[in-house]
Structure 1
């Protein structure tokens, strides 16, 4: 069973999406300096696309993200600590997640989305890597038996 099978079942899906959105907001709030300001401005622009846009996008991409994370998560389960394994392999984890978002942005017709993403893509891996420990904990919260 893959992560998306367990994490997106009807009883957990809304909570997982909500927690992912809160995690993103928390990561954003922790950013400072010019790059933090750029990220916050870009996020505000994306939120302005339409009400609920961020949670809609999170809901749409989570299955692909969880599928992309399955191999490294499963390795971590086999080694006994998937949270630590994702965190230790944050570069691989970030690449897997960014592969999903890169593919999605290529298909979007919304210029504001594509333009914003392309402007920030160069620094995205660093920010995603920083978020991996929080994401690993979030996943673990919903995969505990």
Structure 2
């Protein structure tokens, strides 16, 4: 039986490496954005990182447990009949996977008592699903690297 994502990715000896690789994934996804909206994303991302260095790593670390929980059913299904790689599996199931992952941030935004955060999140949420879907192959590769 395949190891659970929780056991593989949240292990205290591996967690920091997982978070670092996921931060690199976010950096790469932002870097690959193009066009007007890509420019806005790149500018905002650079500003956030400059104002508060380490924030991306910290946010990923904070949300990792919930993201792993959201991915676990997909990892289980993938391992039931593994074909190709996990990134390809995720990309072949974009709607349920992206909704599961965005459900984590949706719940966080709902619990926030900061009006500015909830306002910005609600404005970005529509485009977020498209961005998450685009990142699924890379996400699968990072997960598989640490889970296998």
Q: TM-score, normalised by structure 1?
A: 0.89
Q: 1:110 to 1:22 in 2, by over 3 A?
A: farther
Q: Are the counterparts in 2 of residues 73 and 85 from structure 1 also a CA contact under 8 Å?
A: no
Q: Quick one: which of 112, 116, 133 aligns to 1:108? A: 112
How many residues align? The count is 144
How far does residue 85 in structure 1 lie from its aligned partner after superposition? 1.9
Q: Which consecutive unaligned segments of at least 5 residues does structure 1 have?
A: none
Q: Deviations over 1:94-145 (max 9, x none)?
A: 111000011112223455543332221111111100000000010000111x
Q: Are the counterparts in 2 of residues 46 and 112 from structure 1 also a CA contact under 8 Å?
A: no
Q: 1:105 to 1:93 in 2, by over 3 A?
A: same
Give me the CA root mean square deviation: 1.8
Alignment partner of 1:2 is 2:15: no
| 1:30 corresponding residue in structure 2 | 32
Relative contact order, higher structure (CA 8 A, sep 6+): 2
**Which whole-Å CA distance do the structure 1 matches of 2:36 and 2:13 have between them?**
40
How far does residue 57 in structure 1 lie from its aligned partner after superposition? 0.7
| 2:135 corresponding residue in structure 1 | 131
Q: TM-score, normalised by structure 2?
A: 0.87
How far does residue 48 in structure 1 lie from its aligned partner after superposition? 5.0
Q: Are the counterparts in 2 of residues 105 and 113 from structure 1 also a CA contact under 8 Å?
A: yes
Q: Quick one: which of 18, 30, 44 aligns to 2:46? A: 44
Alignment of 1:12-23 (within 5 A): 12-23=14-25
Q: Are the counterparts in 2 of residues 86 and 93 from structure 1 also a CA contact under 8 Å?
A: yes
